[in-house]
Chains A and B, each alone.
Chain A
Amino acid sequence: MSGLLKDNLKRKEKDNESISSNSGLSNVLLLNVNNPNPTLSITTTTITNAIVNSSSTSTIQRSNSDTISDIRGINERLMNKSTISRSSSKNLQSSKLFENFSLDNLISSDIEIENSELDSDNDLLKIYNSSIYDYDEDNMSSYNFRKKYGNEDLSSSNWVKHKKHFFILSSAGKPIYTRYGDESKLSSLMGVIQAIISYYSTDNDEISCINTSTHKIVFLLRNPLYLVCVSQTNESEEHLRLQLLYLYNQILFSLTSVQLTKIFQDRVNFDLRNLLSGTEIYMDELSRKFSVDASFMLKSIRCLRLKNDLRNTIGEIMNNYRPKNILYGILTYNDKIINIIRPKKQSVHPLDIHLILNMINSTSFRSVESWSPICLPKYNSRGFLYAYVSYLDNIESQSQSESEITSPVSPTSPSSSNSNMKITKTDICLTLLSPDKNAFYYLSNCKKKIEKIFNKSSIFKSISNQKNKTELDISDFGIPHLRHVLYKSNKHLQFVETKRLSPYDDPPSYRRLLRSYKYLDSKIHSYKKNLKFCYILGKNELSVLWIKDDFELYAAFSPFISKTIAYNDLLLIEKWFKKQDNLFITTSQVF
């Protein structure tokens, strides 16, 4: 092996001098999966070697998984996987290199590592091999999971092919939920899962993750429930566990922790599906959204871009006409938040908001006002609240008689007898959360008030006037080669992203982009040394993540631009964001 390595190394040196002879070392590594060049492992060892200034190349084990993916990856592998001894001096040496890493180093470092050995163990190649797991999510409409995959089970070849499975079972091993197939047909699998978990728990230990060459199996144990994810998506363990947590919260959302505990205290072998029936759609939707909606990985709220004074006017109206005794009042536009009112002492938890949005968006048709008992696990996992949800009407008077605008027209009957009015449902939805289960009619009346004032103040018109500006547009930045930007404010726990234009206008490409963002996120956050910047170059794009105290900035560029340009552009993008005042809810409407 070592002979082979050395041979290859020599060849590689000839091919590309810059790599082995560069003693200036890379603090930033660029991975290029573009041109097929079967020298992956050699490149890896070369770099590894260079970093530790070790002369003994041959002691480094060849491992296919040692593809250099990013800075942290190398460091990790140096410490863990290779046979280089973990003497403290060497570790020091290698970590020092990473310490002084900064954005500026990006420019000075000039190493590009090319590798692209097609190898099934290669994380990154999988991330960029877009065809690999897009098959399961594209040919289905968002609501058809149950029907489409309902009859699959362990023995059907399609079932195994799904790239990400979620299973929920009771600690007695009873199936509760599966993303694909019919959970009752999976009882043997659930039994195996339970057996694996109990094997470790007898030692007072808890299994958390199993890594195989192709799959990652992540566990979240929340007695009396076990949640398991089996994934081939190369998302990190942390991301997958977060997704399991969302699913767990979704169950609490329907049941509360008190009920859940009590049910299983009374009857360990209870079949929870009885109580959850009708809510599977929420879990299906969550499972799907994890791959196409950045809010979940960012744990922050997606905001509608709106002029600050308009947003504040809206918030003040909501606040002035709010019902007594509510927790939150939330105004949304599709999947984006316009404004939120809340008691001064209560904060808003993004994880709860995501569950509320999930409910609003998978709820019945828009003419209805709905009333649902829900639990917000972050706010209080022990009790129910009642959610009043209603889309608002735009009421236009068609004739000249504007004074008639206040005449009582039942908003839910578009075929109203009053011919002066033109009533149309807007995409704007009001959600009010009350602890009182009898408050429906009261809240419904308050909604009518708020709706009336909105109409009087032409709020809907003002919003629709801004319509083409309510989404960030890549052209706002005036930066060529820039394709996508996502900016999260750490202070507000809110984020905005640019409209999904080509090449991200189709779900597979956008999912791929999100995966690369997730990859950057997991690398940058798991790196202990306060890493600020990270990027990967793939055949489709150059994606970057830049983290500062007050923001996280994700961006995707054309893969053909140099990192110097990308770096300068990032500074411009940051400056641009600093100047905006219409992106986030900055003035909280409290009462």
Chain B
Amino acid sequence: MSGKNLLKAIILGDSGVGKTSLMNQYVNKKFSNQYKATIGADFLTKEVMVDDKLITIQIWDTAGQERFQSLGVAFYRGADCCMLVYDVNNMKSFETLDNWRDEFLVQASPKHPESFPFIVLGNKIDLEESKRQISQKRAMAWCQSKGNIPYFETSAKEAINVEQAFQQIARNALMQEADVPEFNFPPSVSLDAEQKPDQGDCNC
């Protein structure tokens, strides 16, 4: 196990679109109908095999409410990829994708905003077709317009495409890493929120 292949992923989207449920499905293969609250940020690590490589993904699910924006900065920074989630049965959650993307770019301020690896998930496709408000076509058009963002239609409830989406995000982030010129960044001076967990490194 090497600590080197550590990816930081952020999940964003309106409250209620199923972010927590997607993570729970991905990590525990479970779904519950319980409405549970994330009022700050939830943190999760998961080890995955991507092309014979063992990767540890750190996933941050932030509540994204207005009052936590100051908290957001610390968590967005240093992200390797960002997953935008909306609910295909909820128009508003689709319309706010733009805001989520913009806000992420502002707060995380990645080196290359144009090519930063996003991924879009249209969740809750298990619900009946009549409830659906955003067609796959429309969603894909939006993704296209934002620089060909990969798009997945998922259901946290029925475990549709969940595994695939998270695999994709790991893959994209790794590709991103490969694009970076071959030198290691010197350790950052401001060690505020970026301090990665390191076994036995606790001054308590």
Contacts and interface: CB of A to CB of B under 8 A. Distances in A.
A410 B63 contact: no
B43 A364 contact: no
A254 B65 CA distance: 11
Interface string B30-63: 1011111111111111110000001010000101
A147 interface: yes
Of the four ranges (under 10, 10 to 19, 20 to 34, 35 or more), the interface on chain A belongs to 35 or more
A410 B40 contact: no
A406 to B, nearest CB: 9
Contacts of A279: 37, 39
Nearest to B47: A413
Of B20, B27, B35, B56, most buried by chain A (CB within 10 Å of CB) is B35
Contacts, number: 144
B40 A387 contact: yes
Of the four ranges (under 10, 10 to 19, 20 to 34, 35 or more), the interface on chain B belongs to 35 or more
Given A141-B34, A363-B37, A442 B46 contact: no
B41 A371 contact: yes
Contacts of A324: 203-204
A146 B33 CA distance: 13
B36 A365 contact: yes
Contacts of A373: 39-40, 67-68, 71
Given A363-B37, A373-B68, A441-B195, A368 B204 contact: no
A572 to B, nearest CB: 43
A530 B43 CA distance: 52
A438 interface: yes
A324 B66 CA distance: 30
Contact of A359 (B35, B39, B44, B204): B39
B193 A440 contact: yes
B23 A368 contact: yes
B114 interface: no
A365 B24 contact: yes
A439 B37 CA distance: 22
A408 B199 contact: yes
Contacts of B193: 438, 440-441
Contact of A410 (B42, B45, B74): B45
A415 interface: yes
Nearest to A282: B37
A322 B68 CA distance: 26
A438 B38 contact: no
A440 to B, nearest CB: 7
B28 interface: yes
Contacts of B42: 364, 368-371
B197 interface: yes
B67 to A, nearest CB: 5
B201 interface: yes
A368 B44 contact: yes
Chain A to chain B: the 5 pairs with minimum beta-carbon distance, closest first: A372-B40, A445-B202, A368-B42, A143-B34, A408-B199
24 contacts: A255-B67, A281-B36, A282-B37, A321-B204, A322-B204, A324-B203, A363-B36, A364-B36, A364-B37, A365-B24, A365-B32, A368-B42, A368-B44, A368-B61, A370-B40, A372-B41, A374-B39, A412-B44, A417-B1, A437-B70, A437-B71, A437-B74, A442-B202, A444-B197
Interface of B: 1, 15, 20, 23-24, 27-28, 30, 32-47, 54, 56, 61, 63, 65-68, 70-71, 74, 192-193, 195-204
